[in-house]
Structure 1
Amino acid sequence: MSKKTEFIEIYQTYIKRDGAKDFLDYLCSNKSDFFTAPASTRFHGSYPEGLVEHSINVYHCLKDYLSRNRVKDMYGMDYDDETIALVALLHDVCKINVYKTSYRNKKVNGEWQQVPYYEFEDEMPYGHGEKSVYMISPFMKLTREEAFAIRYHMGFSNEDPARNVGYTFEHFPLAFALSTADMEATYFVDGKE
């Protein structure tokens, strides 16, 4: 099964709220490179379809994290399937249409060759998590916890003041869980170029 097919299957199975179909139509349209884009310029998923693969990996990591007895019983984290799918699959939609293929010289087997690489070129530099929330919101209503989870999924690795991240993790535990799943997928599951 292709990554696009797997993504669409998970999305359509769990995300049912008003506007979900319209947002999926946008992701599948020629206005979006979501299913062909890399997840980064040179780190995790820095290859075609890396973004959709990363999104699916985050979904599976989040499902696994939230299924743990300790997480449910001690931390009280209990979210429905729609919320889990929505925040995991859509947390990085801010990366749509921002990676451009360029070429540089690289020595390969002793000879200089033109090799492709990705450049980051964001025509709507609205931040990272907040841009994803901004892009989803015209299509679907997010709960406050979903919006905070997507907004702060980068955790302490973003440029936000630590007190904002700490406050968010304390008051919106889904943000902590999504950040944990994102880091797990990034550093242990996603492929490298």
Structure 2
Amino acid sequence: MKNDKKIPTPYAYAGGVEKFERLTEVFYEKVLKDELLEPLFRNMAAEHAKHVAHFMVKVLMGPPFYSEEFGEDSLKRMVCKHIGKYIREEQRKRWVDLLLQSADETGIPDDPEFRSTFVAHLEWGSRVALINSQLASNPTTGEEQIPQWGWGEVKGPYEIVGSLFQKKHKEE
């Protein structure tokens, strides 16, 4: 028996762009009250939360709002936000913990399948950000793109930017 149900992207399953924008609003309110994270974010731009929401949307296979706004250099721009910040592991972990608390508060799905995908992306992405934060210059090139994260994806081992970000060239 054939199953004709279309499997939604993680983005669609989570509830769309408004859900991610609300998630990051709630999250960054927590961040600015957190003694461990506030120093990293105290000077963030007013639109930072929305940009992070749109980056997550793109990564979780939703509309490309982030890359449409920032163009071909959108990945370079995101990586640049971390360069020279010298994020510590305890800050990275707190970032993930507060984001997951915010996900619970804003009704991001909590079923095992979605949370597995969502947490895997957050853990992987935050570790890449930590690595990039130790650098003095941006390692991205024109050969990389924002990765997309679907259901049950495996994206390791991670690198500074690395081959996982490499643009996929169509076979001739």
TM-score class, shorter-chain normalisation, is: 0.3 to 0.5
Q: Which protein shows a greater Rg? A: 1
TM-score w.r.t. the length of structure 2 is: 0.37
